[in-house]
Amino acid sequence: MPTATVEDYVKRLYLEQERIEPGALVQPGRLAAAMGVVPGTVTTMVRTLADAGLVHYELRAGVRLTEAGERLALHVLRRHRLVEQFLVKVLKYDWSEVHEEAEHLEHVISEKLLERIDELLGRPRFDPHGDPIPDAEGQIESRPNRALSGCVAGEKLRVECVTAQDAEFLTFARENGLSPGNRLTVVRSDRVAGTVEIRRRDGKTTTLSHRSAESVRVSDAG
């Protein structure tokens, strides 16, 4: 069985790959920053992952998951996101506090318990943050979405997911109508000031920094 560290690396690599061009390599520095470790640690780990057949690695150029690596990453994401959904739906956790719990539980939950949770929840397709939950075969749904930071005044949007995971921002997001499924209109997007102002359905407005708005993924609200 892969260690928790191996699982964390392949999961993080999968999430980083999603943010760059399909097929491109993730730069080791980027992976190090995402993992919160020094580049040397990543280099050592990437070699271990390459030996295990989980990543394809080109010296200095970067790294990407092999098919086996992607399978493992999707399985870890499935465990993580199903656990989050379970904590919110059944145990009534707030969506801003489930990530930390899921970070631990994703490595230890048994297949049997996972299957029971999936069944109990009616095989949900999305987690509380709006991220898709891979199914048992590793199939994952993707809804076309883009960052709120790139939207312009007048656009009517639906929040698909919030990619930031820190509890403080998630609480802010919830309190300001930025939970997945919520609808909003862009009032103003000011590139120079670096701010985006949005209006919720109840008429209240909120201003976000462009940086925060980057982690709010939206789609057109038809």
- Pairwise CA distance, residues 198 & 151, whole Å: 10
12 contacts Zn ion (rule: CB under 5 A): no
Q: Which is nearer to Zn ion, 13 or 102 (CB)?
A: 102
Give the C-alpha distances (Å, rounded to integers) separating 101 from 6, 93, 216.
Answer: 18, 10, 22
Q: Which is nearer to Zn ion, 105 or 151 (CB)?
A: 105
Q: Which is nearer to Zn ion, 46 or 79 (CB)?
A: 79
Least gap, CB of 8 to Zn ion (angstroms): 12
Q: What is the DSSP code string of 124-151?
A: -SB-TTSPBPP-TT--------EEGGG-
Candidate list 64, 75, 78, 99; residue touching Zn ion; CB under 5 A: 99
Stretch that binds Zn ion, among 66-74, 93-101, 105-113, 186-194 (CB under 5 A): 93-101
User: Quick one: tokens of 11?
Assistant: 């999961």
Q: Which is nearer to Zn ion, 79 or 99 (CB)?
A: 99
Least gap, CB of 126 to Zn ion (angstroms): 12
Q: Which residues ranging from 120 to 149 are in contact with Zn ion (CB under 5 A)? A: none
- Pairwise CA distance, residues 42 & 131, whole Å: 26
Least gap, CB of 101 to Zn ion (angstroms): 9
Least gap, CB of 113 to Zn ion (angstroms): 18
Q: Rounded to the nearest 5 degrees, what angle is found at the Cα of 207, between the Cα atoms of 206 and 209? A: 145
Q: Which is nearer to Zn ion, 102 or 184 (CB)?
A: 102
Give the C-alpha distances (Å, rounded to integers) separating 141 from 12, 74, 160, 174.
Answer: 18, 12, 12, 24
Q: Which is nearer to Zn ion, 64 or 99 (CB)?
A: 99
79 contacts Zn ion (rule: CB under 5 A): no
Q: Which residues ranging from 100 to 119 are in contact with Zn ion (CB under 5 A)? A: 102
141-154 in b/e form (b: 16+ CB < 10 A) is eeeebeebbebeee
Residue nearest to Zn ion (CB): 99
Number of residues that bind Zn ion (CB under 5 A): 2
Sort strands 216-220 and 205-209 into parallel, antiparallel or unpaired.
unpaired
Phi/psi of residue 60, nearest 5 degrees: 65, -35
Q: Which of 58, 44, 59, 50 is nearest to 10 (CA)?
A: 50
Least gap, CB of 102 to Zn ion (angstroms): 5
Which residues contact Zn ion (rule: CB under 5 A)? 99, 102
